[in-house]
Amino acid sequence: MAKYLVIVESPAKVKTIKKFLGANYEVDASNGHVRDLPKSQLGIDIEHDYEPKYITIRGKGDILAKLRKEVKKADVIYLATDPDREGEAISWHLMKALKLDEAAGKKVCRISFNEITKNAVKSSLKAPRDIDMNLVDAQQTRRILDRMVGYSISPLLWAKVKRGLSAGRVQSVALRMICDREEEISAFIPEEYWNLEALLKDGSAKKPLRARFYGDEKGKVSIGKKEDLDRILEELKGKPYVVDEVKRGERTKTPPIPFTTSTLQQEASKTLNFSTQKTMRLAQQLYEGVEVKGKGTIGLITYLRTDSTRVAEEADQAARQYIGQHYGASYVSASEPSRKSGAKIQDAHEAIRPTDISLTPAQVKDSLQRDLFRLYQLIWKRFAASRMSAAVYDTVSVKVRAGRYLFHLSASHLAFDGFMSVYVQEEDKEEMGAALDKLEAGKELELEKLESSQHFTQPPAHYTEASLVKAMEEQGIGRPSTYAPTITTIIARRYVAKENKNLYVTELGEVVNRIMKENFPSIVDLKFTANMEYLLDGIGEGTVDWKTVVRNFYPDLHEAVEKAEKEQESVTVADEESDEICELCGRRMVIKYGPHGKFLACPGFPECKNTKPYFEKTGVPCPKCGKEVVIKKTKKGRKYYGCENNPECDFMSWQKPSTVKCPECGSYMVEKGNKLLCSSETCGYVMNLKTK
């Protein structure tokens, strides 16, 4: 009997796969990559056409030695690493490290499966293939470009700012996106607007109907200033409120498409409050296999790194059959939901879905830890919903006339829940009054009162992990496998602080971003980076030569680094003398730069270890107590303005306060670009600095 060896990436898969195969099969794991570029040097031979220099990763010697012994015993070796370009590269590195391409009399095959189930694994053994060198080259190119950027620019940041910093081909663009959003928010000038609602009584209704001001016969009208509101209120005095138009109809809400890596990360963040990193860690466990009572170790979901929404025909049919049996024929979708388009999609992959639709969340709940269960339940419900009918709402839209003005009311009632019987998102939770059903055109309503409320337009929201992933995907920055590690890196480097889900750029992040924009504009250019992703995809498809991409990339980068080394001035963020005297030893304290920003330290270290917070003075008196306003930072590094007399005075502001008082209400004003804005939420007065 022939002996077979199956090599997978993760030890967690070994147990799951071994039970699917017979006694002649040995299953072992490489524990991820076994070879990589050396850490001590660039590892790319610039003089010899950019050939990478690979070495065995430290600690992988014993694993390779064990695998070599298994190779000797086997007649056929199956390289069964993950079904993406990273997995393809690991298989190629295994082949080189184990010298499988030189092994006489042994058959070496590449197999891949999108889910770790008995059918998928056995089917892959019947369809062995050669290693796809296009995918390997795509991964190699990504690794080489990332190494070139990191190893060329990071030493510059060490020299000009401080040690321990890093730049990255994708991480630096993600940081730039966050900085750009911060600048948008800082420069945003709120604009005043008013809402006007009429509370109307219909004799048969217990509660008044709340109708929102719409406009006039010409169309929608926005109420900007208080003067506009007062003019409208004056015109409405004494006017009867008559139902002008009643429209009844039907609205359908289409089911969601199955999860991709990006949408799973976004939805898990919104509904489960998971970070992108946590979502991927849990999804990896569900994919590799978990112990389920009565079934042993099984993989519960398909491969977790994908940008495709395609579903295998077998899984699609199984889902439709399950839905028909458990919910009824009317709940089965007549067609597949619309798929993503536009960006390049690796359609060889499937969407993220349960491997077995009949294995419901309720059946596995007792076998899974709480968070694993919650993520599996989310994936199961989303996939089931994607194969179900649309939800149907009965709708009523009413326009009420008062003089020349119109007010609008609308309501909807869920007539058929369809996919919402399984999967309801926050925005789907709507159910409104049946009171409108009784209204007919020409009916006069009694005005109880008019209610007005002042509002101001809001700045763009700070990025969250979920919204940053969405923006990166829309811009073509990174790929499914890079979203989570990119965000994790910029937070770990303290370029970005995460507070209450929101991402804020730190002072350190601002410094690094400024240096990158000034010296390496193409590296942090969104279009350039997106185009590079398309080229990498082209290499994977065999339409672009990988060496051509590297040859075109490196010389410009090298030239920019050399120029920056000569022209970029050092950023003095450490060891400046301050006016503070160390109360322990009498030395003049110095300003140092730590992970959270600037702080004061005694220069007598290590004899004197005294440190204290450093607050940059602004020259602005505190609006509350008259002491000086200083620049402070939250524990995570976000900058704000507070009183030096804290905790006696609790003044704080996210924007820099001004010495100018608002001429309208007397509140202090804050700086917003080239304007001053009243700090009072109910005033909204704006002053141009040039006419101050």
The confidence score (pLDDT) of residue 304 equals 95
Give the chain's radius of gyration (CA, Å): 31
> What whole-number distance in Å separates Cα of residue 51 and Cα of residue 147?
13
CATH number of this structure's domain 261-386, picked from the four choices 3.40.50.2300, 3.40.50.300, 3.30.10.20, 1.10.290.10:
1.10.290.10
The pLDDT assigned to 574 comes to: 46
Mean pLDDT on 119-144? 95
Name the band, by pLDDT with cuts 50, 70 and 90, for residue 664: confident
Q: How many CB atoms lie within 10 A of CB 651?
A: 18
Where do we find the tokens 């070994």? 14
Give the model's pLDDT for residue 571: 63
Handedness of CA 321, 327, 329, 330 (dihedral sign): negative
**CB-based contact 129:137 (threshold 8 Å):** no
- Residue 521 CA to residue 297 CA, distance in Å, equals 50
Residue 501: left if φ>0, alpha if ψ -120 to 50, beta else—which one?
left
Q: Look at residue 431 in the predicted model and tell me its pLDDT.
A: 53
Give the pLDDT confidence score for residue 1 in this predicted structure: 63
In this predicted structure, the answer to whether residue 27 has a pLDDT above a threshold of 50 is yes
Query: Which of these ranges, 110-114, 275-279, 440-444, 597-601, has the smallest mean pLDDT?
Result: 597-601
Q: What is the pLDDT at residue 342?
A: 44
CB 438 within 8 A of CB 202: yes
Q: Which two tokens stand for residue 429?
A: 């939770």
Q: How many angstroms separate the CA atoms of 259 and 262, rounded?
A: 8
Quote the longest CA-to-CA distance of the chain: 99
CB 501 within 8 A of CB 463: no
Residue 204: band (very low, low, confident or very high) from pLDDT cuts 50, 70, 90: low
DSSP-based three-state secondary structure for 437 = helix
Note every long-range contact of 326-335, with CB atoms under 8 Å and residues 24 or more positions apart, other chains counting.
327/388, 327/421, 327/422, 330/389, 330/416, 331/388, 331/389, 331/418, 331/419, 331/421, 332/387, 332/388, 332/389, 333/255, 333/386, 333/387, 333/388, 333/389, 333/390, 333/419, 334/389
CATH number of 192-254+391-456: 2.70.20.10
Chain mean position to CA 330: 36
Q: What is the pLDDT of residues 262-273, one digit of tens each?
A: 999 999 999 999
pLDDT of residue 594: 62
**CA dihedral over 202, 205, 209, 215, signed as positive or negative:** negative
DSSP state of 464: B
Q: 3-class SS at 506?
A: coil
Q: Which CATH code fits 140-187+461-567?
A: 1.10.460.10
What is the percent of the chain with per-residue pLDDT over 90, rounded to a whole number?
Answer: 65
Torsion sign across C-alpha atoms 574, 580, 584, 587: positive
Q: What amino acid is encoded at 387 in this protein? A: R
Q: In 3D, which of 16, 22, 18, 28 has the Cα closest to residue 3?
A: 22
Which residues lie below 8 Å from residue 443, measured CB to CB, with a gap of 6+? 202, 242, 243
pLDDT at 153: 93
Q: Which residues of 479-515 are buried (b: 16+ CB within 10 A; e: fewer)?
A: bbbbbbbbbbbbbebbbbbbeeeebbbbbbbbbbbeb
Domain locations in the chain as residue ranges = 4-131, 140-187+461-567, 192-254+391-456, 261-386, 659-692
Q: Which residue has the higher pLDDT, 166 or 692?
A: 166
pLDDT at position 238 over 50? yes
How far does CA 303 lie from the centroid of its chain?
19
Overall average pLDDT of the 670-681 stretch = 83
State the pLDDT at residue 677.
87
pLDDT digits (tens, 9 = 90+) for 645-661: 888 888 888 888 888 88
The tokens 């005043």 sit on which residue? Answer: 192
CA distance 303 to 84: 9
Residue 432 has pLDDT above 60, yes or no: no
Q: Are 627 and 645 in contact (CB under 8 A)?
A: yes
pLDDT score of 207 more than 70: yes
Own/partner pairs, 51-57, CB within 8 angstroms, 24+ separation: 52/140, 52/143, 52/144, 54/93, 54/96, 56/97, 57/33
Q: 3-state secondary structure string, 270-302?
A: HHHCCCHHHHHHHHHHHHHCEEECCCEEECCEC
Q: Which are the contacts of 248, defined by CB distance < 8 A and separation ≥ 6?
A: 394, 395, 396, 397
Span 561-573, mean pLDDT?
78
Least reliable range by pLDDT among 44-53, 121-130, 621-630: 621-630
Q: Give yes or no on whether 140-187+461-567 and 192-254+391-456 have one common fold.
A: no
Q: What's the token pair of residue 203? A: 């004799």
- What residues contact 449, with CB distance under 8 A and at least 6 apart? 198, 199
Beta carbons of 331 and 421 less than 8 angstroms apart: yes
Q: Are strands 4-8 and 25-29 parallel, antiparallel or unpaired?
A: parallel
343 falls in which pLDDT band (50, 70, 90)? very low
Count Cα atoms within 13 angstroms, Cβ side, for 540: 21
3-class secondary structure per residue, 51-103: EECCEECCCCHHHHHHHHHHHHHCCEEEECCCCCHHHHHHHHHHHHHCCHHHC
Token pair of 242, please?
A: 């008559």
Highest mean pLDDT of the ranges 356-365, 497-506, 672-681: 356-365
Two tokens, residue 57: 């990763």
Cβ–Cβ under 8 Å, residues 655 and 190: no
Token code pair at residue 688: 């141009």
Instruction: Give the whole-angstrom CA distance, residue 147 versus residue 280.
Output: 24
Q: Which CATH architecture has domain 4-131?
A: 3-Layer(aba) Sandwich (3.40)
Judged against a pLDDT cut of 80, whether residue 336 lies above it is answered with no
Q: What is the pLDDT of residue 690?
A: 62
CB atoms within 10 A of CB 187: 12
pLDDT in tens, 287-325: 999 999 988 889 999 999 999 999 999 999 999 999 999
Quote the pTM value: 0.84
Q: How many CB atoms lie within 10 A of CB 330?
A: 10
Packed helices 276-288 and 370-386: angle between N→C axes, nearest 10 degrees = 80
> In residues, how long is the chain?
692
The residue from 303, 327, 376, 495 that is catalytic is: 303
Q: What is the pLDDT of residues 378-422, one digit of tens each?
A: 999 999 999 999 999 999 999 999 999 999 999 888 999 999 999
| Residue 153: its H or E element | helix 133-160
Instruction: Give per-residue burial for 49-58: e unless 16+ CB within 10 Å, then b.
Output: ebebebeebe
Q: Which residues contact 367 (CB under 8 A, 6 or more apart)?
A: 290, 291, 292, 293
Is 50 catalytic? The answer is no
Look up residue 481 and give its two tokens. Answer: 């496998």
